[in-house]
Amino acid sequence: MSGKPIKDMIIGTMRNGPETLKELEMAKKTGKDISQERDVVKKKVAQYHPSVLHLVVSEIEAVSPIAKRIRLVSEDGYLPPFEAGQYINVFCEIDGVRTSRPYSLSSSAKQRAFYEITVAAVDGGFVSGYLLQCLKPGDRLEANGPAGVFHYHPVFHSKKSVFLGGGSGITPFVSMIRTVLESGEDREITLLYGSRTEEAAMYHEELSAFAKKHSNFHYTLILSDEEKEGMEHGFLNAARIQAHVPDILDCTYYLCGPAVMMEFCRKALEELQIPGRSIRREVFGTRRDIWNEPGWPEGMTGEEIFHIQIGEKQIEAKSGESVLTALERSGVRVNVCCRSGECSLCRVQLVSGKVFTAQGALLRYADECFGYIHSCKAYPISDLELRF
Amino acid sequence: MAHYDVIVIGAGNGGLASAATLAVNHKKVAVFEKHNIPGGCGTSFRRGRFEFEVALHQLNGMNTKERPGPTRQLFRKWGVEDAIEWIPIETLYKINLPGGRGVALPADKKKACQLLCKEFPAEAEAIRRYFQMVWKFNEEIADFLAKSAASPANPSELKKFITKTGFPKIYKVLARYGVRSTQDVLDEFFKSRELQLCLSAYWCFMGMPPERFPFSILARCMYLYTVDKPYYVRGGSQVMSQALMDTIRRHGSEVFLNCGIRRILLKNGRAVGVEDENGNAHYAHKIISNVSPTITYAGLLKDEEVPEACRQYFKSYTTGISALTCFIGLDCPPEDIGFTDSFNLIYDSLDANQDFKNAYFTNTKADPIVATCYTIDDPCVSPPGTSIITAGTLKYGEAWEKLSPEEYHRTKYEAADQIIRRLETRFPGLREHIEEMEVATPLTHMRYLGHPGGAIYGYEQDLKSSVFFFPQDEFIPGLTFSSGWVNTCGFGPNYAYGDKIAQSILKEGR
Ligand SMILES: Cc1cc2nc3c(=O)[nH]c(=O)nc-3n(C[C@H](O)[C@H](O)[C@H](O)COP(=O)(O)OP(=O)(O)OC[C@H]3O[C@@H](n4cnc5c(N)ncnc54)[C@H](O)[C@@H]3O)c2cc1C
Ligand code: FES
């Protein structure tokens, strides 16, 4: 007895002790060797969330005078599953600056042979211009994602969906529509698409053809700058929503488009007394004229130059540009994905100084207690000291 | 080339606690975390107007400022007790029995005992005996631990004493109940299945059904939660994690976020450093792994570096359970749908052991449901007029790992839908008030924690692998562990264990 470790000795005298010790001995003989676990987790996680997607451009085609759809295949043949409405964040290096932009996938989620994104030109846009003008089939791109929460959630969304899209904000809806119609899902979709002109409307032909073929898909194009026969003229307002949606309180509403249109639609839905829980939104980035956002410090123009200290490095930053942009411009590598304040990957500690936080930054309570910011939604309004 | 006193791999509860104690005691520490935020399980995420807590239900070991429990004492020592708002909870849990009967147990021995006697008058005598036994059990543990601690250098003294008198004579209650399952002990005391369910609740904190859940852990939980009261934290566990990270940095040590470790470096069989995912090497006298031993040995070391004895040792430990959790933001206050208590265990049958077997499948038709309404603990947890509920079941990862990517989303939503459907029978109107909802599966936990099987409580903690048998043996000099994989899981126990590991390193250094 005295030769045994004290633990075994004690347990041996306890009720059910000897039985437990015996069981332990058995388990040692029959158990699995941990070396079998090598890379199991890594491989499983990569199936759904690879750290990087290595993509190759397979096709590029214009879908409007200012927009192209870009088909992407995987370098190693594998693309992870996604939910229609999600985006990927595409990285590129332009003039020596490594940056990225999120683009909603517009292809059907029912197939994973390729992903398709649709890029619209933005005036003076840094990345959209590059993708539209310089990218060609065979080029390689890195991306992360798919990510995002702008998608159908069967547990609490209505089977009756109303899509309110404006401009390039049609892209996630194209994916959702293709996904539902191609698989014959039991859902009803009404799409109201606001575009300046018929020509500028993306995927108009495909959407019209879908509407002809599928009785559960209703499509109306609304032109703001053009009057055309058989098409509606004006904006996406309450009267129009009411006219096209029979049972307005039974639907889930999905909004995607330019900030102005989103705000307009929000008010329209409020007027119609649609509860907030029935409204989902995707904002395509932060407004360019951040200095016009409510709460922007009086007297500042967006042109002020401040210094940011990060580690050993000191860089210059303009108040009208996000901290993330300033960091990327000077070659500091920051983790990013959504670039719209939601995912928190670009989080940094604000050691000193002040920032303006744009709408939509989903900070945690702890961030506010301990001074952390989402650099994609934070604008320098004094000299700053940051820490990763 | 950086050199530290101690390197910690992982900024989860165990890693942060070890690092904080070391840093406060002037050691130069570097913590490496692959995520962009500290905490591991101890974290939160945002959706719409809501911030969802990922892991913390009830913190133990707090008690009041005047009578600080062990967890509060640690936060005091780390200098952040007052940086955090602690919120006491008055109810241990509510058991929702089949048929709609509910029993909410107050966090007070006398009141809890009285309530149960009133609810189950036929077994009143046994209930009183049971409570006495649980308290005696804990007193004997305290005494035994004190004696062991008093003669750490001379275990043979204790051994002689025990051999001479016989352990069961000195520690009667401990010897009788110390290595038995919860079901076994409850069967000895009680006839009513309903009453048994009212007392076994903590099994879900360790992910073992009553028939495998060590009674000693139940007895500890019951005692500690009652004596020190359960607590919640304003802002959730992310606040504690961030406070610890800031403590570490404030004392001149480092926390590197977004910096995973891909290898542990050995020299002559001793762990001397780590290599991060960017290929940089960092060296230290001691390495603490907050990562599971499984991934540490089978992911950060090469097969030939892992001693045969180590592989043999781990054979008796099996990967533990994960969970399927619905994070729900409602656009109404909890009372509108009849939610009255924060922590709920919901049974649709009286056979918890049988229902638990459904944990091996993806569907959620029978599993006991754990539902926590954080708004009841802290009305400020979400905007006025809204509430937050997390509801889920324990699930093993295997069935989820076997799904094809095509099946994954559908399976996930079906499982979540079934949970909501079952909850709606007790909380009518729940579904129509959902404003935000996210569903986490075992694969989600696997992604964020990096644990095999998406395990949330470490290895399976049954009689042969917990309490007396946690996998705390070490096989590679210079490498030690601090996590829920080598110790009782839970926030309080992990902070305490992390601190203990740090203390032993401080002693070695002297
Ligand atoms: C989740 C998500 C999904 C997106 N999906 C798509 C998509 O499917 N197709 C697509 O074309 N774009 C999409 N975008 C927008 C896209 O990521 C880029 O913002 C856009 O291409 C402009 O980038 P840029 O580099 O050309 O412009 P920048 O050099 O970044 O400059 C444009 C500036 O204007 C802002 N801005 C960007 N877009 C607009 C706009 N439409 N109106 C006003 N200001 C704008 C930007 O935030 C920035 O401040 C998406 C954005 C998000 C966040
Ligand atoms: S990149 Fe997602 S929050 Fe900034």
Over residues A173-182, the pLDDT tens digits come to 999 999 999 9
Residue B444 lies in a domain: yes
Domain range summary for chain A, segments of one domain joined by +: 48-143, 160-283, 299-387
pLDDT for position B1:
63
pLDDT for position A9:
86
pLDDT of residue A286 exceeding 50: yes
Indicate which atom in ligand 2 lies nearest the CA of residue A89.
1
Confidence of residue B190 (pLDDT cuts 50, 70, 90): very high
Confidence of residue A379 (pLDDT cuts 50, 70, 90): very high
Is B36 in the same domain as B58?
yes
Those residues whose C-beta lies under 8 Å from the C-beta of residue B459, and which sit 6 or more positions away, are B317, B318, B319, B320, B465, B471, B485
Is B184 in the same domain as B283?
no
Nearest CA to ligand 1 atom 5: A103
Q: Does B236 touch chain A (CB under 8 A)?
A: yes
Residue of chain A nearest B405, judged by CA positions: A81
Going from the Cα of B86 to the center of ligand 2, the distance in angstroms, rounded, reads 30
User: What CATH number did the domain enclosing B395 receive?
Assistant: 3.30.519
Helix (H) or strand (E) holding B193: helix B193-200
Is B215 in the same domain as B129?
yes
Is B164 in the same domain as B201?
yes
Domain A48-143 classified CATH 2.40.30.10? Answer: yes
* Distance between first and last Cα of chain B: 25
Residue B229 lies in a domain: no
Assigned CATH topology for domain A160-283 = Rossmann fold (3.40.50)
Residue B197 lies in a domain: yes
Tell me how far apart the alpha carbons of residues A274 and A156 are, in angstroms, rounded to a whole number.
15
Is B347 in the same domain as B445?
yes
Q: Which ligand is nearest to the CA of A147?
A: 1
Q: Do B295 and A149 touch (CB under 8 A)?
A: no
Q: Do B331 and A11 touch (CB under 8 A)?
A: no
Residue B160 lies in a domain: yes
Residue B93 lies in a domain: no
Average pLDDT, stretch B432-449?
97
Name chain A contacts of B464, Cβ cutoff 8 Å.
20, 23-24, 27
Confidence of residue B7 (pLDDT cuts 50, 70, 90): very high
Q: Locate tokens 């309004």: which residue?
A: A381
- Domain region containing B311: 2-87+236-317+472-509
Tell me how far apart the alpha carbons of residues B15 and A144 are, in angstroms, rounded to a whole number.
28
Residue B464 lies in a domain: no
Residue B311 lies in a domain: yes
Is B187 in the same domain as B119?
yes
Is B181 in the same domain as B116?
yes
Mutate to test the pocket of ligand 1, among A83, A99, A123, A128 (most ligand atoms within 8 A of CB): A128
ipTM above 0.90, yes or no: yes
Contact B278, B54 (CB under 8 A): no
Q: Locate tokens 């004290």: which residue?
A: A6
Average pLDDT, stretch A342-362?
96
Is B53 in the same domain as B41?
yes
Contact A203, A181 (CB under 8 A): no
Total of domains in chain B? 3
pLDDT for position A1:
38
Q: Dihedral, CA atoms, B439, B441, B447, B452, nearest 10 degrees?
A: 160
Is B376 in the same domain as B429?
yes
Q: Provide the shortest C-alpha distance from residue A196 to chain B (in Å).
A: 30
Chains A & B: contacts with CB separation below 8 Å: 187
pLDDT tens for residues B155-186? Answer: 677 777 777 788 899 999 999 999 999 999 99
Indicate which atom in ligand 2 lies nearest the CA of residue A339.
1
pTM of the model: 0.96
Average pLDDT of chain B?
Answer: 95
Domain boundary among B194, B224, B254: B224
Going from the Cα of A162 to the center of ligand 2, the distance in angstroms, rounded, reads 27
Q: Do B159 and A2 touch (CB under 8 A)?
A: yes
Mutate to test the pocket of ligand 1, among A71, A91, A101, A130 (most ligand atoms within 8 A of CB): A101
pLDDT for position B151:
66
pLDDT tens for residues B67-99? Answer: 999 999 999 999 999 999 999 999 999 999 999
- In this structure, which amino acid lies at residue B151? S
Q: Is the CB of A340 under 6 A from ligand 1?
A: yes
Helix (H) or strand (E) holding B147: helix B124-150
User: What CATH number did the domain enclosing B63 receive?
Assistant: 3.50.50.60
The edge-to-edge listing of strands for the beta sheet with A347-352 is A313-318, A305-310, A384-387, A347-352, A372-374
Q: Do A370 and B37 touch (CB under 8 A)?
A: no
Residue among B91, B139, B136 at smallest CA distance from B112:
B91
CATH superfamily of A299-387: Beta-grasp domain (3.10.20.30)
Residue B459 lies in a domain: no
Q: Is the CB of A166 under 6 A from ligand 2?
A: no
Residue among B490, B497, B495 at smallest CA distance from B206:
B490
Mutate to test the pocket of ligand 2, among A336, A348, A367 (most ligand atoms within 8 A of CB): A336
Tell me how far apart the alpha carbons of residues A369 and A379 are, in angstroms, rounded to a whole number.
19
Domain boundary among B196, B224, B252: B224
pLDDT of residue A189 exceeding 60: yes
pLDDT for position A4:
66
